[in-house]
Structures are given as C-alpha cells and as structure tokens.
C-alpha cells in the first residue's frame, strides 16, 4: 500500500502540467571535460595519468593558448544540487572534520556568486564542531549579497592555524568551487572569537584566494608571517567590553599591524562584549566593506614570507605562493636584498622574503633575501606574450626571453589554483645568483 501513497500527488502535478520535483544531485566529475576532471581529481597518481593524455591533446602552442581560454571559461555548473549539505572528510592529522555549504535562495548556476568562508568560535567543543550552525546563523550578515556560505569545522582545541586545519579550509573552498559558480574575486573569510583569531592565521598562508578578511571578536595572536597579511584588507570588529579578547591588547596588536603596512579598518563597538553576533549586528558596515573590496587577482606588486621551519602543507603550495609569485626553495644565496621596512614592525627579518613588481612593459623587478629559487607565473593578462619577458633579481639581469603558452604549466597550475581568474600560460623559474 505504501508504494501508492504518492500517487495522488503525482496525478495532481500531471493534471496541473507540472513536473514532480527532481531529487537533489551531487557533483559528478564525469559530466565535465577531461581537463576539468584532471583538475578535480583528488588522487595524485591518477591525475598524473590523466595529465599525460592531456599533454598529447594540447601539445602545440596554439592548442595550449586555446586551453587557457577553456579554463578561464570554467566548468558547466549543474542546477538542482543540495542547497545545504554537510560533508565529512579525513584530515592529515588523522581526524575527520566536517564542512557545510549554504546556498543563497537566489542561487543561479549561470551567474557567479560571492562566497563567505566562516570560521566558528569555541574550538574546544567536542566533535563535530560548530561550522554548520555558525555559518548559517552568523553568515546571515551577507544574506543581502546572496553569497554562498561555507562553514568548515574544527574541535577539541585544534586551532584554525594548524596545518591540517588550514588544509581542511582550503579543501572545503575547493569543493564548493567544483560544484557551484563562484566569483573567485569575491571570496571573503571571516570568523568569530577563536574563528576571528583563526581568520588572521589562515590568511598568512591562504591570502591568494581571498579578497578581504573580517575577523570578529578575535586578535592576531599566533601569526608569525605578518608580511603575508599585507596582501588583503581587513575589517576587524571587536567589543569594548569583551572580557575574553580584552580591547587594550587587541588595540595594541592592531596598531602594530597598521605600522607594518597591513590595511586594517578597526571598529570598536563601545557597548559590546564578547558577542559573536557582532558580524550580523554590523551587517550594514560588513556589506559595504565587502562591496568596496573585490580581489585584484594580478596586482602589480606582490610580496611574501616563507617560514623555513614548516613542513607538509605549510611548506609547499599554497603557503609558498602569493598570486603570481612563488618561493620554490629557501636558503642562503650569493645575492640578498636589503628591505628597509622591517625595523620597528612585526616583520621577521630572519624569514626568506620575496618582493616582485611588474614594471612598464614586460619587465619584472624582483628582490629576494634567503631565497635560492623562485617562479614567476605568467598570465597573458599581465604580459604581452608577443614580446620577450625580462626579470631582474636584486638589481641584476636574471632572465630575458620569449614565454609562450605551454600545456604542462597551464594544467599543473590550474590544478593547484582551481581559480578561473588565476589561469597562467606558463612559468619562469629563476635561480638566484
């Protein structure tokens, strides 16, 4: 008898000329072209097999140039996926963590949507952590923008800045990019309390992927690579009566960040305590800040610190890369530049450092300290590929020559970045003499 219980509903729908509601689907990589299946493949060994086949398909300069256009266009995005879903994934530290996405009510797969990645507070709670709940409730601050909300989780006092947790956040954002039409220049990170502190910490390795950061009722304690925070603007919101992150200490830390050249708009709410809903209560200012700060994916000036003591996820990509510059190998080199902005600031003079500036034409001037090898990622939106590219390092010529689209570089970098606004035609690796 139970198998007939939906028959009246189906008959009614047919009479009205309406189709029955389709069940929600999840992401299916098989629906995409081989290029996107390679980018989305999680198994490195399988991805390498796919790459070799793709290199045969895109082996000429002309075909490689068309590949760039294909990747900039992006995947086809399906409708009918779950508007909210929580997935559990194994992490590098042996624990399993969850992340949740919430689509806006007006989500349209044909239109790019902004994203808010929200880091919850109270990380000392037990599993699964508060990602699902807080990203839904506190993420209401961006409802008027019709943004996708992403809520990763951590628990049992595992900090957001730990390598396995940073990687979990990165993975969560990647999974949302695979499924939904994301405006990569409108991806923001925010958090409250422990998540506010975590917002600062995550940016020091993940700045490439965010337009701006909004830490709430937190502080930048635990950050060591403050140079990397220069890559984003911050809107920091704290309560004057906060008994946990006391305002005097937070103010001192933020003022030090400003002296270091970090762009921080610091808002102290006089009558507020340790209130995670400050993000929602300051909704008007948050929306205004987001509207005014899209990401520039290819800024003319980029700089980056690497911590040579780090291992694993924090040693390679993305911790070694900012937008179009990458530190491939740290270590002593015959040539080292002097940087005049470190005295009296939070910058670590003992960390390997790179600064690269795109000058007029096809010239890139690079300064390094403690860097043996680096890579310039070449975009046809930055360079005229009909002309040679010139790279100088610490005032000396290091590279001069043509750079043309090359399939291996295009695909490998696309797999790393998973970002339609950061599709590179080729790369130039330079040994520091």
Mean pLDDT to the nearest integer, 68-77: 94
Average pLDDT along the chain: 92
The CATH architecture of the domain made up of 84-292 is: 3-Layer(aba) Sandwich (3.40)
Can you tell me the mean pLDDT for 306-332?
A: 93
The edge-to-edge listing of strands for the beta sheet with 426-431 is 321-322, 325-330, 371-378, 426-431
pLDDT of residue 249: 96
Question: What are 252-291's pLDDT values in tens digits?
Answer: 999 999 999 999 999 999 999 999 999 999 999 999 999 9
Burial 307-324 (b: 16+ CB within 10 A, else e): beebeebbeeebbbbbbb
Could you give the CA distance from residue 46 to residue 177 in angstroms, rounded to a whole number? 21
Residue with the larger pLDDT of the pair 12 and 370: 370
Residue 421's SS3 state is: coil
Count Cβ atoms within 10 A of the Cβ of residue 330 and give its class: 0-12 exposed, 13-18 middle, 19 or more buried: buried
State the average pLDDT over residues 221-247: 96
Q: How far apart are CA 92 and CA 162, in angstroms?
A: 11
Give me the pLDDT at residue 311, please: 84
pLDDT, mean of residues 327-356: 94
pLDDT at 240 over 70: yes
Q: Would you place residue 189 in the very low, low, confident or very high pLDDT band (cuts 50, 70, 90)?
A: very high
pLDDT in tens, 28-61: 666 779 999 999 999 999 999 999 999 999 999 9
Q: State mean pLDDT over 365-390.
A: 97
Dihedral over Cα of 325, 331, 332, 333: its sign: negative
The pLDDT, as a whole number, for residue 74 is: 92
Q: Encode pLDDT of 360-376 as tens digits.
A: 899 999 999 999 999 99
pLDDT of residue 23 exceeding 80, the answer is no
pLDDT of residue 222: 86
Residue 335 pLDDT more than 60?
Answer: yes
14 has pLDDT over 60: no
Find, among 345, 338, 351, 409, the residue nearest to 377 by Cα. Answer: 409
Reported as a pLDDT band with limits 50, 70 and 90, residue 135 is: very high
**CATH 3.40.50.1820: which residues of the chain?**
84-292
Tokens matching residue 105: 């009510």
The pLDDT > 70 percentage for the chain reads 93
- The answer on pLDDT for 328 being more than 70 is yes
**In this structure, what is the dihedral angle of CA atoms 129, 130, 133, 134, given to the nearest 10 degrees?**
-160
Interior/surface letters 125-159, b for 16+ CB within 10 angstroms, e for the rest: beebbbbbebbebbbebbeebebbbbbbbbbeebe
With vertex at residue 316, the alpha carbon angle to CA 148 and CA 394, rounded to the nearest 5 degrees, is: 110
Residue 218 predicted with pLDDT over 80: yes
């Amino acid at each position: 008898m139970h198998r007939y219980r939906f028959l009246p509903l189906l008959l009614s729908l047919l009479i009205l000329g309406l189709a029955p509601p389709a069940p929600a689907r999840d992401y299916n990589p098989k629906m995409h072209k081989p290029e996107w299946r390679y980018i989305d493949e999680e198994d490195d060994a399988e991805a390498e097999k796919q790459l070799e086949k793709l290199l045969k398909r895109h082996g000429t300069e002309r075909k490689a140039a068309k590949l760039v256009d294909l990747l900039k266009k992006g995947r086809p995005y399906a409708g009918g996926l779950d508007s909210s879903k929580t997935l559990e994934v194994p992490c590098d530290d042996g624990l399993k963590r969850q992340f949740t996405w919430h689509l806006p009510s007006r989500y349209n797969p044909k239109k790019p949507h902004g994203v808010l990645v929200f880091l919850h507070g109270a990380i000392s709670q037990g599993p699964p952590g508060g990602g699902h709940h807080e990203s839904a409730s506190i993420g209401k601050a961006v409802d008027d923008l019709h943004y996708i909300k992403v809520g990763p989780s951590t628990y049992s006092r595992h900090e957001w800045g730990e390598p396995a947790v940073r990687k979990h956040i990165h993975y969560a954002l990647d999974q949302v990019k695979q499924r939904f039409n994301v405006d990569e220049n409108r991806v923001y990170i925010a958090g409250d309390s422990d998540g506010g502190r975590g917002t600062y910490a995550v940016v020091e390795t993940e700045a490439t992927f965010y337009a701006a950061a909004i830490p709430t009722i937190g502080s930048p304690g635990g950050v060591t690579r403050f140079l990397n925070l220069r890559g984003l603007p911050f809107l920091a919101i704290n309560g004057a009566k906060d008994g946990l992150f006391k305002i005097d200490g937070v103010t001192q830390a933020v003022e030090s960040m400003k002296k270091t050249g970090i762009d921080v708009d610091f808002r102290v709410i006089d009558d507020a305590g340790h209130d995670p809903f400050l993000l929602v209560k300051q909704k008007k200012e948050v929306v205004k800040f987001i509207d005014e700060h899209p990401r520039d994916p290819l800024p003319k000036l980029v700089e980056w610190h690497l911590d040579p003591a780090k291992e694993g996820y924090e040693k390679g990509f993305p911790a070694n890369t900012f937008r179009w510059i990458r530190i491939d190998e740290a270590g002593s080199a015959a040539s080292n530049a002097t940087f005049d902005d470190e005295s009296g600031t939070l910058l670590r003079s003992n960390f390997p450092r790179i600064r690269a500036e795109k000058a007029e034409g096809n010239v890139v001037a690079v300064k390094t300290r403690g860097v043996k090898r680096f890579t310039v990622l070449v975009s046809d939106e930055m360079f005229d590929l009909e002309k040679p590219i010139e790279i100088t390092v610490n005032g000396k010529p290091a590279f001069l020559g043509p750079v043309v689209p090359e399939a291996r570089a295009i695909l490998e970098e696309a797999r790393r970045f998973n970002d339609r606004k950061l599709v590179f035609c080729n790369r130039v690796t330079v040994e520091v003499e």
